[in-house]
Amino acid sequence: MAEQEGITVKKENFSEWFSQVVQKANLADIRFGVQGFVVYPTWGFKIIRRIYEYLEEELEKDGHEPFWFPTIVKKSDLEKEKEHANFTPEVFWVTKAGDKNLDEEFALKPTGEAQIYPIYSLWIRSHQDLPFKAYQDRMFVYRNDKQTRPFLRGREFPFFESHDVFATHEEGLKQVKKDFEISTKVLYDKLKIPFVLFKRPQWDKFKGAVDTYTPDTVMPDGKRNQLASTHDLGQKFAKAYDIQFLDKNGEKQYVWQTCYGPGIIRIAAAIFGIHGDDNGLILPFDIAPLQIVIIPVLFSKKKTENDKVLKKCLDIKDKIEKLGYKVKVDDSDNNPGWKYHNWELHGVPLRLEIGPREVKAGKATLVERTERKKFEIKIKDLDKEIKKHAKSLDNEIKKKADDYFKNNTRVANSLKELKEMLKKHKGFVKIPFCSDDFDGEKCADKLKDETDGGNVCGVKAERPEKASGKCIMCGKKAKCIVYVAKSY
């Protein structure tokens, strides 16, 4: 199959496999003509949209409300945050309207803080306005990234961000924990993506944050994929943008803030890369743009026989639609084998094959996308069978992802061991390290140079391991266990 579809074997060259699947499964089209700006065709965009829906649902359960801000950000507002989150070198500037220079140039937003927080200073006045929890999504942000690749790095990409405001730091820290739970519910429970939750080193956190936390997974080429980030912002932005409230005693106080940013296209990349196989995409049942495809098997030379098969397929499609599933009959002129390969490439979870034999017996042949095993089912049991096989498919996806991820972390106790492991082992490597505070930055820089791109990802955010021995870079007493991996 891989050869017939022209897909590289995944384990032999993941990078090429990924590029081919993105193209052949209609996930993105890079022929727009401007580097870093891609088109998302229907199949890819429906997957992106479903990720948004999952996040919207979970954040609104947590009391967040949606809002919308413009695509642009004022230069003066952007420059207020230079000290804390300097995106200025990466932004795209708008300087003209027609042939006239603008009185004040503005930027296409790289992220939302510089837009949202000046307005927060107007909206939030009293302790009665707090907590304030809101998000915006279904939008794009813009950064002039030098290296671009669909779903991994871009100059324009889908974005999601929540920005929360509290009266106390304790409330903010509780929200950070809640963000961890939301990541687990969406990334792992729904999308079957395993990850490690890190507290990022101080030198590699969001500059405006007190602390930054990220759920990171590993792609099949061994590189770290950061799926999201949540930030304890403390009062840094509150002071930069003068966001204050009157407390219960009538005294002015600066607010405490957090923000949460799931990486929509990075999440999609993890779904494609971790779950897919040599035949193309494998998608969890609920996220698939098309959940069930019905293939008429028309081998009979008798037109009346073929008409009966097509009619039965359409009848079954109507029944499945009434059950609430996304279903299609592929009645194109392509032969059944081509159709099987095409829908496997696109990751359709369940396939029903129906020919004259199945029509006479009141049955269908059902195929799960994961193992491509065939099951004979009764048409009268469609609802029960679809539920059973959808659950079976999701369980198989989760099991394979867990198996793939559980052995992805090794331990190195010397720089020599670390170098060897990063060359051979595709995943995280734990090492004893002097510090994840700014004291460790020189060691991290040296480590990156010595290992040809190894990054200190951070310490485990929950239940961090106790360190023993010495830092493998400087020889000082190790204060923490950090995880190292190469990154995109």
pLDDT digits (tens, 9 = 90+) for 326-349: 999 999 999 999 999 999 999 999
- Is residue 159's pLDDT more than 60? yes
Q: DSSP 3-state assignment of 157?
A: strand
Give the Cβ contact number of residue 385 at 10 Å: 18
pLDDT in tens, 226-247: 999 999 999 999 999 999 999 9
Alpha carbon separation from 473 to 72, 326, 434, 485 (Å, rounded): 44, 54, 8, 16
Residues 122 and 242 both lie in one domain: yes
Model confidence at 55, in pLDDT bands (50, 70, 90)?
Answer: very high
Query: In CATH, what number is assigned to the domain containing residue 323?
Result: 3.40.50.800
368 is a domain residue: yes
Dihedral angle over CA of 372, 394, 222, 217, nearest 10: 170
Model confidence at 83, in pLDDT bands (50, 70, 90)?
Answer: low
Residues 124 and 156 both lie in one domain: yes
Judged on CB neighbours under 10 Å (0-12, 13-18, 19+), 35 is: middle
Model confidence at 5, in pLDDT bands (50, 70, 90)?
Answer: low
Measured between alpha carbons, how far is 179 from 211 in angstroms, rounded to an integer? Answer: 14
Domain boundary among the residues 248, 275, 302 is at 275
pLDDT of residue 4: 45
pLDDT of residue 95: 95
Q: Pairing mode, if any, of strands 292-296 and 327-329?
A: parallel
- Is residue 1's pLDDT more than 50? no
Residues 122 and 165 both lie in one domain: yes
Q: What is the mean pLDDT of residues 165-178?
A: 98
Measured between alpha carbons, how far is 342 from 27 in angstroms, rounded to an integer? Answer: 14
Residues 99 and 144 both lie in one domain: yes
pLDDT of residue 363: 96
Residues 164 and 98 both lie in one domain: yes
Average pLDDT over the chain reads 95
Range of the domain at 341: 292-395
Dihedral angle over CA of 81, 83, 86, 89, nearest 10: 120
Peptide bond into 131 cis (omega under 30): yes
Model confidence at 84, in pLDDT bands (50, 70, 90)?
Answer: low
Q: What is the mean pLDDT of residues 41-68?
A: 98
- Is residue 3's pLDDT more than 50? no
Domain boundary among the residues 345, 367, 395 is at 395
Residues 299 and 383 both lie in one domain: yes
| Percent of the residues in the chain that have a pLDDT greater than 70, as a whole number | 98
- Is residue 85's pLDDT more than 70? no
Task: Quickly tell me which residue has 């099949």 as its tokens.
Answer: 220
| Percent of the residues in the chain that have a pLDDT greater than 90, as a whole number | 91
Q: What is the mean pLDDT of residues 190-199?
A: 98
298 is a domain residue: yes
Measured between alpha carbons, how far is 475 from 470 in angstroms, rounded to an integer? Answer: 5
181 is a domain residue: yes
Q: Pairing mode, if any, of strands 244-246 and 100-108?
A: unpaired
Q: What is the mean pLDDT of residues 143-154?
A: 93
14 is a domain residue: no
Q: Which of 114, 69, 119 is nearest to 88 (CA)?
A: 114
223 is a domain residue: yes
pLDDT of residue 407: 85
Query: In CATH, what number is assigned to the domain containing residue 428?
Result: 3.30.110.30
Q: Is 0.85 surpassed by the pTM of this model?
A: yes
286 is a domain residue: no
Residues 420 and 334 both lie in one domain: no
Task: Specify the number of domains making up the chain.
Answer: 3
Residue 354's DSSP bridge partners are: 296
